[in-house]
Amino acid sequence: MTPTQYLLLLLLTISLSSPAHAQDEEPLRPEDAYRYVLSDTGTAIEVDWAIEDGYYLYRNKLGFESKTTSVVLGEPRLPEGLPHEDEFFGKQQIYREHFYVNVPYTITGDRPESIEFVVKSQGCADLGLCYPPQTWTETVQLRQTATKPKLDLGGFGGLGGSEFLPVDEAFEPIVIPVDGNTVDVTWRIAPGYYLYKDKISVKTLANNVQLGQLDLPKGKLKFDEFFGESEVYVEDVFARLPLARATPEAMELELELTYQGCAEGGLCYPPTTRVIATSLPAASAVTDLSSLPRRAEPISEQGKLAQLIIDGSLWAVVATFFGLGLLLAFTPCVLPMIPILTSIIAGEGDKTSPMRGFTLAFSYVMGMALIYTAAGIAAAAAGAQLQATFNQPWVLILFSGFFVLLALAMFGGYDLQMPSSIQSRLAAVSGNQKSGTTIGAFVMGALSALIVTACVAPALIAALTVMAQTGDMVRGGAALFAMSLGMGAPLLLVGAAQGHLLPKAGGWMVAVKSAFGFMLLGLAIWMLSRILPGNVTLALWALLVFMSGVFLGGLTSLGPDSSGAQKLGKGFGFLAIIYGLLLLLGSLTGGSNPLKPLSSLNFGGTGITVTEQQHIKFQRIKTVDDLDREIAAAASQGKTAMLDFYADWCVSCKEMEEYTFTDAGVQAALANTVLLQADVTANDEADQALLQRFGVFGPPTIIFFGTDGQQRHGYEVVGYMKAMDFTDHLQQAFDR
C-alpha cells in the first residue's frame, strides 16, 4: 500500500468516525499515544511499550531494523496479543496498555558503543481513527560486555556453587513518563525470579510533587520458605502512578523505588532501594492530591469519633458519646465508683429516701463529670499527658489512704460527718441540714474523676485530639461531658435503689456499712496496684478476701437455733477464707492474677513446681532515635513491627499483658514481628517526645509498622482489646 493510499485510508476513517467523538475527544499524536523505552541487555534490544487507554497497536505491523552495519538483528520475540477484528485489517492480534519486545542481535567485528535502531509500528484508536505506519529511529547505547555476570554465592544458604543474577539484573526498574501528571513504573523480571507485591513501594523527596496510589496489578499466590503464602509477580510488572504537582512547568523527578524478590533456586534478596530519575513534560494543569485515585485507608475508631465531633451535628455528638459513656460505665475504670457512692448514701443513716439517694447520686455524678471535663480541656490545651499527671505514685498513695480512712468510718472507727459549725452555716443558707452531705457528694465525685482517668478509651482520645489539634474546646468539651454523664448514669439508678433498699434500722445496717468498708478497701488496693508489684498486690487481695470471710462468719460456730441467714453467711464466709488462702499461696509463688492465683504452679507427676506464664518478650526503647533505628532494622529483615506504649500505672496495659499477650494465637500472629515497647512511666522529656511523635495521649496505645517501615495508619489500638479481637486486628494491620 502506497503512502497516498494510507493517507486516503486515514481520511476515510476520520470521516466514518462518530461526530460526537470528534467533538468531545481530540485524538493524540502517535508519539503521545504510543510511548516506548529502549534498553540493551547485552545480547538483545528490549522495547518496553506504554500505550494510552483507548489506543492499540497491531502485532503484525511491528518491525525493527538496524542501521548500524556491524549489528545484525535476529527474529523479534513478540508476546501473544489480544484477538481483534476490524474493517481495515480483518482478524488481527493487537497490544494494549503495556508489553515489551525482545530483539536479539549479533555483532560482527568490534563491539560498537551504540546502535541506530529503527522501530516500525501501526495502530488505531477506539474512537475510529487509524494512524498511518510510523517509523522512528533511536540511538541505543550498548553495554560493553555481551555476557551477563553471575552472582557466585559460594556456600550461602546451602547453595554452594550456585549462580544467580545480580539484583539489578533480576529485577530492573524502569520509569516512563506518560504525561505531566502520570508516570508508568515497570519492573522487568528475569525468568526464574519473582517479586513480592507487598514489598513494593514508591516515594519521592521532592517538595513540589506528591504521589498518588501506585496502581499495581493482581499477582499470583505463591508459598515459599521465606514469607509463607504471598502475592508475587513472575513476569514484568506495569503500574501507573499519578502525581500532584505544585507547578505545571517541565521538571526532573527522582523516584525512590523499594522492592524485594527471590529466585526460584532458593535465594531471597534483601530489600532493594533504587533512585530512578525521569523527565516530566509540562503538565496541562496542576492536580490536587485529594483528587488522585487512592486506596481507601482504614480509619481507627478514635479517628471516626474525632471526625464525628468535627463534622457531625452537636446533638449526634452528645448522643453518641453519652452511649459510649454508658458502655464505659461497666469497665473496671468506672465500677470502683459504686462503693464510694454507696458509702456516702449509707452514711445518711436509716432515713434515706429514694429521692434523697437520687439527689446524692446526681450531685456525685455532676462533680465527677464537671471535673473530668475540665481536666480533659486543660490537658488538651496544655498538651499534657492526663494519665501521667493523675497517676503519679504520691497521688495514688494519697488517695488510697483517703479511701482507707473512709473504710474505717464504715467499720465504726469514727463518725464521718462535716464539722457542726460548717453544717450550721450551710443550714442557715439553705434551711436544709442535709445540704452539707450533698456538697460532700459533689466533692467526692470530683475526686473520683481521678479514677476515670486510669483508662484510655478511643472516645477520650477522640475528644482530646479534636481539642488539641483544632482548638475547638466547645465541641470537644461537650463530647467529654456527655461521655462522663453516660459513665455516671448507672450511678443514678444505684442512688435511687440504695435509698429504697437500704435497711432502715437494726443490725443489718452495721453489716451493710461493713460491706461498703470492704469495697472501699478494695478500691484502695486497686489504685495501689498501678505502682505495686503484682505478687504484693495479690497478697493484699488475699488479706482483704480473708478478712471479709471472717466478717461474714466463716469462722463462727453455728448452733441448732442458728438462722438461715447465719448459715448462709458462714458458708460464703468459709469459701471466702479458702479463696483468700489460695490468693496468699499464689502471691508467695510469684502469682499476680486474682482470677488465676495458682497459674504459676505445675501439679505434675514429679511434684508441685513453679512455672512461669509465657509472656511475649518486648525490646524496650526510650527515644525517637531508638525507635527509628529498630524500625529500619526490622524493615531490612522483611519483618513487621509493633510499638506498645506502656506504663506501670496503666491498668489496661497490665490487662493486655496478662490476658492478651499471653494468648497462643496472638503470639503466633506476632511470630514475624519485631516487638518494641516504650515505657512512659516516668513521663520525662524523652517519653513526651515519643508520645508526641505519634500524637499519643497515653497508654495503652499500640502502633503497627509494615515490612516497608511505614506506619499502618488507621490500625492503632487504644485501650484494652481481647485476645481474639487482637489476633484478627493483627491480620488486618499487617495484610497489604
Residue 207 has pLDDT above 50, yes or no: yes
Q: What is the mean pLDDT of residues 577-593?
A: 82
Provide the number of structural domains found in the chain.
Answer: 4
As given in the structure block, the three cell numbers for residue 558 are 453455728
3-state SS, residue 277: strand
pLDDT of residue 121: 92
Last-in-domain residue among 237, 261, 291:
291
Say yes or no: 132 and 279 in one domain.
no
What one-character DSSP code corresponds to residue 704?
Answer: E
Q: What is the mean pLDDT of residues 544-555?
A: 84
pLDDT of residue 144: 66
Say yes or no: 315 and 461 in one domain.
yes
Instruction: Name the β-bridge partners of 676.
Output: 619, 643
Instruction: Please state, for a pLDDT cut of 90, what percent of the chain lies above it.
Output: 5
What DSSP assignment string belongs to 709-729?
A: S-B-TT--EES---HHHHHHH
Say yes or no: 388 and 474 in one domain.
yes
- Decide if 624 is inside a domain: yes
Number of helices (H) and strands (E) in the chain: give both, helices first. Answer: 22, 31
pLDDT of residue 439: 77
Confidence band for 15, pLDDT divided at 50, 70 and 90: very low
Q: What is the mean pLDDT of residues 318-334?
A: 77
Q: pLDDT higher for 562 or 234?
A: 234
Say yes or no: 355 and 470 in one domain.
yes
In angstroms, the Cα distances linking 324 to 373, 489, 699 are 15, 12, 19
Last-in-domain residue among 291, 325, 350:
291
Which CATH number goes with the domain that contains 168?
A: 2.60.40.1250
Say yes or no: 282 and 329 in one domain.
no
pLDDT tens digits, 131-179: 888 999 999 888 765 444 444 443 333 333 347 788 888 898 988 888 7
pLDDT tens digits, 258-290: 898 888 876 778 788 888 888 888 876 555 444
Last-in-domain residue among 494, 513, 532:
513
Least confident of 25-34, 522-531, 592-601, 623-632: 592-601
280 burial (CB, 10 Å; 0-12 / 13-18 / 19+) is: buried
Least confident of 10-24, 283-297, 302-316, 384-398: 10-24
The mean predicted confidence, pLDDT, of the chain is 75
pLDDT of residue 418: 45
Instruction: Please state, for a pLDDT cut of 70, what percent of the chain lies above it.
Output: 72
- Decide if 599 is inside a domain: no
Pairing of strands 619-621, 673-679: parallel
Order of strands across the sheet that contains 71-73? 34-40, 44-51, 98-107, 71-73
Q: What is the mean pLDDT of residues 601-622?
A: 66
pLDDT of residue 137: 92
Q: pLDDT higher for 133 or 458?
A: 133
Sequence letter at residue 32: D
Q: Give 3-state DSSP helix, strand, coil % of the chain, rounded to 5.
A: 45, 25, 35
Residues 6+ apart with CB under 8 A from 713: 297, 298
Sequence letter at residue 540: L
- Decide if 284 is inside a domain: yes
- Decide if 278 is inside a domain: yes
Say yes or no: 249 and 326 in one domain.
no
- Decide if 652 is inside a domain: yes
Q: Which residue has the cell 436544709?
A: 432
- Decide if 449 is inside a domain: yes
Q: What is the mean pLDDT of residues 588-609?
A: 65
Say yes or no: 315 and 444 in one domain.
yes
pLDDT of residue 12: 43
Confidence band for 22, pLDDT divided at 50, 70 and 90: very low
Are 583 and 542 contacting, i.e. CB atoms less than 8 angstroms apart?
Answer: yes
pLDDT of residue 17: 42
User: What is the residue range of 70's domain?
Assistant: 3-141
Are 446 and 339 contacting, i.e. CB atoms less than 8 angstroms apart?
Answer: no
Are 191 and 263 contacting, i.e. CB atoms less than 8 angstroms apart?
Answer: no
Q: pLDDT higher for 461 or 27?
A: 27
pLDDT tens digits, 357-367: 778 778 888 88
Residue 20 has pLDDT above 50, yes or no: no
CA 707 to chain centre: 14
pLDDT of residue 710: 83
Say yes or no: 167 and 206 in one domain.
yes
Q: pLDDT higher for 280 or 305?
A: 280
Say yes or no: 330 and 414 in one domain.
yes
Q: What is the mean pLDDT of residues 225-238?
A: 77
pLDDT of residue 427: 41
Say yes or no: 123 and 158 in one domain.
no
pLDDT of residue 9: 46
pTM of the model: 0.46
pLDDT of residue 512: 64
Are 324 and 489 contacting, i.e. CB atoms less than 8 angstroms apart?
Answer: no
As given in the structure block, the three cell numbers for residue 50 are 506504554
- Decide if 596 is inside a domain: no
pLDDT tens digits, 670-711: 988 999 999 888 778 888 888 878 877 778 889 999 888 888
Determine the Cα–Cα distance for residues 347 and 189; give it in Å rounded to an integer.
80
Say yes or no: 278 and 315 in one domain.
no
Residue 504 has pLDDT above 70, yes or no: no
Q: Which residue has the cell 521465606?
A: 226
Residue 94 has pLDDT above 80, yes or no: yes
